[in-house]
Amino acid sequence: MKFFVDSADLDQIAQLNDVGLVDGVTTNPSIIAKSGRDFKEVIAEICALVEGPVSAEVTAIKADEMIAEGRLLRKIAPNVCVKLPLTMDGLTACNKLSAEEVPTNVTLCFSANQAILAAKCGASFISPFIGRLDDINIDGLELIEEIRTIYDNYGYETEILAASIRSVNHIKECAIIGADVITSPPDVIRKMADHPLTDKGLAAFLKDWEKTGQTIL
């Protein structure tokens, strides 16, 4: 499973990238706004930092304008992936840009029906939102499972990019279901390494080692 970082914080992206835990990055207008920086500059810097796809989202709502914005965003760097909303206009733009071999990430997916449309329009990625469904008492992980089954039934090449990740359990369950990618805030990815028994065991090892009076370096 690929790990994308859902952030525009270059320091945090770089830290995880150095560990080998970054296969790509996703951004959205809200994330960029929090950075307080120029949108295109941030995207360019992230693209230079990581090798994988970097999702940059259009802000237009009409298909023709989305297509124009998508073409412009694609010029920023060769690993830009144009992010489009799951609306009929967004699907129209996805179909057109995909035909031009522009990678696309169709976002704000909340149903399997929507995911089918994105795949038929040639989306590179579909982004179902787990956490936001959980917020309204709908099982977001069940949606990932439905999309996995449907895509496998018909051999759709669109990758399932599980988004709105809120916990390490979300990541584990997505891996069990077979999501191709998860995109997560940096802190959730780091928490995957945490376990009280690991901490306890390490403390015991270090205590015993200290008693020997030895050093390795």
Least confident stretch, 31-40, 45-54, 91-100, 134-143: 31-40
Estimate to the nearest angstrom the gap between the alpha carbon of 69 and the chain centroid: 21
Residue 101, domain member (yes or no): yes
Q: pLDDT exceeding 90 applies to what percent of the chain?
A: 95
Residue 56, CA distances (Å) to 21, 38, 112, 146 in order: 20, 13, 23, 27
Query: Mean pLDDT across the stretch 47-61?
Result: 97
pLDDT of residue 35: 85
Element (H, E) at 142: helix 140-154
CA distances from residue 52 to 6, 35, 78, 96, 155 in whole angstroms, order as listed: 13, 21, 10, 23, 23
Beta strands in the chain (DSSP E): 2-6, 24-26, 54-57, 80-85, 104-109, 125-128, 159-162, 181-184
Q: What is the CATH number of the domain that holds 60?
A: 3.20.20.70
Looking up tokens 């207008």 gives 29
pLDDT at 34 over 90: no
Instruction: Tell me the pTM.
Output: 0.95
- The structural domain count of the chain equals 1
d(CA 15, CA 18): 5
- In the predicted model, is pLDDT for residue 133 greater than 90? yes
Given this model, what pLDDT does residue 29 score? 87
Note the pLDDT tens digit of each residue in 149-171: 999 999 999 999 999 999 999 99
Whole-number pLDDT of residue 70: 98
Examine residue 149 and state whether it is found in any structural domain, yes or no.
Answer: yes
Out of 2, 62, 83, 96, the active site residue is 83
Share of the chain residues as helix, strand and coil, in percent rounded to the nearest 5:
55, 20, 30
What local confidence, expressed as pLDDT, does residue 147 receive?
Answer: 98
Predicted local distance difference test score (pLDDT) of residue 24 = 98
Whole-angstrom Cα Rg for the chain: 20
Q: For the residues 68-81, what does the mean pLDDT come to? A: 98
Residue 217 counted as domain residue: no
Cβ count within 10 A of residue 24: 22
| Residue 11 predicted with pLDDT over 90 | yes
φ/ψ of residue 181, rounded to 5: -145, 150
Residue 71 lies in a domain: yes
Distances (CA, A) of 74 to 126, 173, 188, 207: 18, 33, 29, 54
Nearest alpha carbon to residue 162 among 114, 109, 113, 120:
109
Res. 17: pLDDT tops 90: yes
2 is catalytic: no
Task: Give residue 36's pLDDT band: very low, low, confident or very high (50, 70, 90).
Answer: confident
In a domain, 13, yes or no: yes
DSSP symbol at 178: T
pLDDT at 131: 97
The whole domain housing 49 covers: 2-212
In a domain, 110, yes or no: yes
Please state, in angstroms and rounded to a whole number, the distance separating the CA atoms of residues 62 and 208: 66
What was the pLDDT predicted at 21?
98
Q: How far is CA 28 from CA 8, 10, 38, 58, 129, in A?
A: 9, 15, 13, 9, 13
In whole angstroms, give the CA distance from residue 36 to residue 39.
Answer: 9
Written as six digits, the tokens of 196 are 């009280």
Query: What confidence score (pLDDT) does residue 104 get?
Result: 98
Task: Round the average pLDDT of the chain to a whole number and report it.
Answer: 97
